[in-house]
Homo-oligomer: A and B are copies of this chain.
Amino acid sequence: MSDLRVHNFTISLDGFATGEGQAADAPFGHAGERLHEWMFATRFWHEMGGRRAGTTGADNAFAAMHGAGIGAEIMGAGKFGPPGWQDDPDYTGAWGSNPPFHTPVFVLTHRPRPSVEMEGGTTFHFLDASPAEALKTAREAAGGQDVRLGGGPSVVRDFLAERLVDHMHVVQIPILLGRGVRLWDGLEALDEAYDIEAVSTPSGVTHLTFTAKRE
């Protein structure tokens, strides 16, 4: 069975994965780009833009796990586009004409629409489904490879609550956002289902990895 994996999922010290006030020009609300500056500094990030630059230390090693062995992604409606995108039948996502996924992507929404094929191998499919159902569909599309759970926080939380996530990489950065959407709400005793490691790096972030305990 292929794994369901979360990568590069970044939260503030007070646990917010996105700020308040999400909009087309502010996908993370008042957090701005601060949550992901650690990643923008890495070679992983620069190489996605075709540049041979960026750090090659521990942050980069974690970041680069993002794509390897992934055959499909599941994302929430809030990652696909800003609030209200469902009202525009021609909207094709916040990710440009060549989105950085290059696999089938299953967008969870209560208002599904026909699939959209983009450049570079990404096809967006729209599902109104439970976490378990969505995972089953994404696994079939992944052709034996793993499925990435792309966020946002409420989607990750829903899949964690049902213990569907096999591997999770959370990056905690030393800022306090004060408001937004928390990752950890309602996940009491989640630690009992995972082996958890913490590694702080010189850039000031802490990488937390969760590996599901097998029977």
Contacts and interface: CB of A to CB of B under 8 A. Distances in A.
27 contacts: A13-B184, A13-B196, A13-B208, A14-B15, A14-B184, A15-B15, A15-B184, A172-B198, A174-B191, A174-B198, A174-B208, A176-B184, A176-B187, A176-B188, A176-B189, A176-B190, A176-B191, A177-B188, A178-B187, A178-B188, A178-B189, A179-B188, A198-B205, A198-B206, A199-B200, A200-B206, A206-B206
A185 B178 CA distance: 7
Nearest to A180: B188
Given A178-B186, A190-B176, A191-B176, A198 B197 contact: no
Interface string A117-141: 0000000000000000000000000
Contact of A191 (B175, B186, B188, B205): B175
Contacts of A204: 196-198
Nearest to A30: B188
A174 B208 CA distance: 9
Contacts of A188: 176-179
